[in-house]
Structure 1
Amino acid sequence: MTERQWMPGSTPCARQLHENGYALLRQATPAAWLTGLRYTFDTGVKPSSEWPVPRGSDWRHSLLDTDLTVQAVCRLPPLLAVVGQLIDERFFLSQVEGREPLANGGHQQLHRDLSVQRPGDTAIALVYLDDYGPENGATRLVPGSHRPASGEPPFDATDESRSLQLTGNAGDILIFDADLIHAGSLNPTGARRRTLLITYFSQALYASHLETVRLRSIRMDTSERFDPAEFALANPGQFI
């Protein structure tokens, strides 16, 4: 399947998502779930030595993919609606884990996570369990960078002139195309910034996904499929 071509009749939310390559859903996670999700994150933290593949030393990493509330967050209808628009065919939940930058850690150079077989076959979500901003290493991204124009110069990972650092509150969810330029930022204060990092794949990637589940410490069932036609985009007041 080729990249979706957005027609004039598509909704304003869909056109905005296509142009920017991301959506920020404000307060999409039920507030009553946040305390439990933070507890699940903290109890699931494991040192780098206990993961099959070593993890970054300036981050906390939490193994939490079988928790029922975490699984419910991964299936929130507004979240699945945005993912469905980005992937534009049946898709599945590939992975969810917890990540948090430590004090004076978390800085990343701008990068793309990259689609696998075609543009748009991978979508990523960050569910913020704490308030976030420059003071605790909030995500940076470059709007519209997921589909470079023909003849555009190669991406310069050191050029921060177009990057935007996000600010928001616990319960917000950021969803973006894997080809969107983004990065984690330095956490200068050490204030908590726990997130759920979720990956969704086109169903065409399921065989390759199964080849690496043990390396990625995936314990949950990933056989469920989601159809984009079953979900409507969030209301414009929630979609940024």
Structure 2
Amino acid sequence: MIDREQLHRDGYTVLRGVIPVQWLTDLRAAFDANVQPSEYWPVPRGTDWRHSQLDLHASVQAVCRLPPVLAVAGELIGERFFLAQVEGREPLAGGGHQQLHRDLSSKRPGDMVNAIAFLDDYGPDNGATRLIPGSHRPAAQQPSFDCTDETAAVQLAGAAGDILLFDVDLVHAGSRNVNGARRRSMLISYCAQALYAAQRATADLRGVRMDTSERFDPVPAQRTRQMAPTRF
């Protein structure tokens, strides 16, 4: 069941162990087999990260469609939505640090949701995500966010198979991989249906190869166990 009050208050949730354990070996193999150097992407990627173009792999697509994941994405977006992108990312030893930032919604607050599916155990030592709970909907009287202020940041920790989902306006960042341990993940993006044309227009630049025509409807409050995909 979704704790809707907590989800909208904090702007994120972590689904613990939602990826079946038996899928992880295949997902890690897919990540490693599809790593592409920065210069092979349409737009060069950060050199302190390993990037994997794995969006056509069946197990990857299955993770993106796990019912609990779709339920959370639908609850945050609040209208019909689609799976826009998935790619693999891993901070290299000594790399991966990001300044706190927002990815920013497009047409209205809440129209985009990101998910990070962790394929390895993660924590402060290997660059786990930092975030500021509740920072996605600042009050009108609040001053502009200082991206150098880390006092309210929380750093996540958990196990392979967890998935973090968050509103793209939530303040967050990747962290430095201090000990060099592997921290493979899949970054997944879900968008409100109204953003489809804009997402398709930039798909090639983002290295998106998969079919994004499938549509998902938010789960009604009384029914959270299943989401029915539709196509058009």
Query: Which TM-score tier does this pair reach, normalised by the shorter chain?
Result: over 0.9
CA shift at 1:122, angstroms?
0.2
Q: Is contact 2:2-2:72 (8 Å) kept? A: no
Separation in 1, partners of 2:68, 2:218: 11
Separation in 1, partners of 2:207, 2:96: 21
Deviations 1:52-78 (A, max 9, x none): 000000000000000000000000000
Give 1:197's aligned residue.
187
Runs of 4+ in 1 over 4 A off after TM superposition: none
Q: Is contact 2:53-2:88 (8 Å) kept? A: yes
Give 1:232's aligned residue.
224
User: Are 1:172 and 2:179 matched, yes or no?
Assistant: no
In the alignment, structure 2 segments of 5+ residues that lack a partner are: 227-232
Q: Is contact 2:129-2:173 (8 Å) kept? A: yes
CA shift at 1:141, angstroms?
0.2
In the alignment, structure 1 segments of 5+ residues that lack a partner are: 1-10, 235-240
Q: Secondary structure at the match of 2:105?
A: coil
Separation in 2, partners of 1:52, 1:32: 33
User: Are 1:119 and 2:109 matched, yes or no?
Assistant: yes
Deviations 1:193-230 (A, max 9, x none): 00000000000000101100110111100000000036
Separation in 2, partners of 1:64, 1:20: 30
Q: 1:79 aligns with which of 69, 84, 102?
A: 69
Q: Is contact 2:9-2:134 (8 Å) kept? A: yes
User: Are 1:49 and 2:39 matched, yes or no?
Assistant: yes
Separation in 2, partners of 1:210, 1:129: 28
Q: How is 1:24-43 mapped onto 2 (pairs within 5 angstroms)?
A: 24-43=14-33
Q: If the length of structure 2 is used for normalisation, what is the TM-score?
A: 0.94
Q: Percent identity?
A: 64
Q: If the length of structure 1 is used for normalisation, what is the TM-score?
A: 0.91
Q: How is 1:125-204 mapped onto 2 (pairs within 5 angstroms)?
A: 125-204=115-194
Give 2:79's aligned residue.
89
Give 2:11's aligned residue.
21
Q: Is contact 1:13-1:233 (8 Å) kept? A: no
Deviations 1:9-31 (A, max 9, x none): xx870010000000000000000
Q: Aligned partner of 2:11: which letter?
A: G
Give 1:5's aligned residue.
none
Q: Aligned partner of 2:209: which letter?
A: R
Q: Is contact 1:130-1:194 (8 Å) kept? A: yes
* Cα RMSD, aligned residues only: 1.3
Separation in 1, partners of 2:38, 2:125: 25
Deviations 1:123-155 (A, max 9, x none): 000000000001100000000000001110100
Query: How many residue pairs are counted as aligned between the two chains?
Result: 224
Q: Is contact 1:82-1:233 (8 Å) kept? A: no
Separation in 2, partners of 1:229, 1:154: 34
Separation in 2, partners of 1:193, 1:101: 7
Deviations 1:69-97 (A, max 9, x none): 00000000000000000000000000000
Q: Secondary structure at the match of 1:95?
A: strand
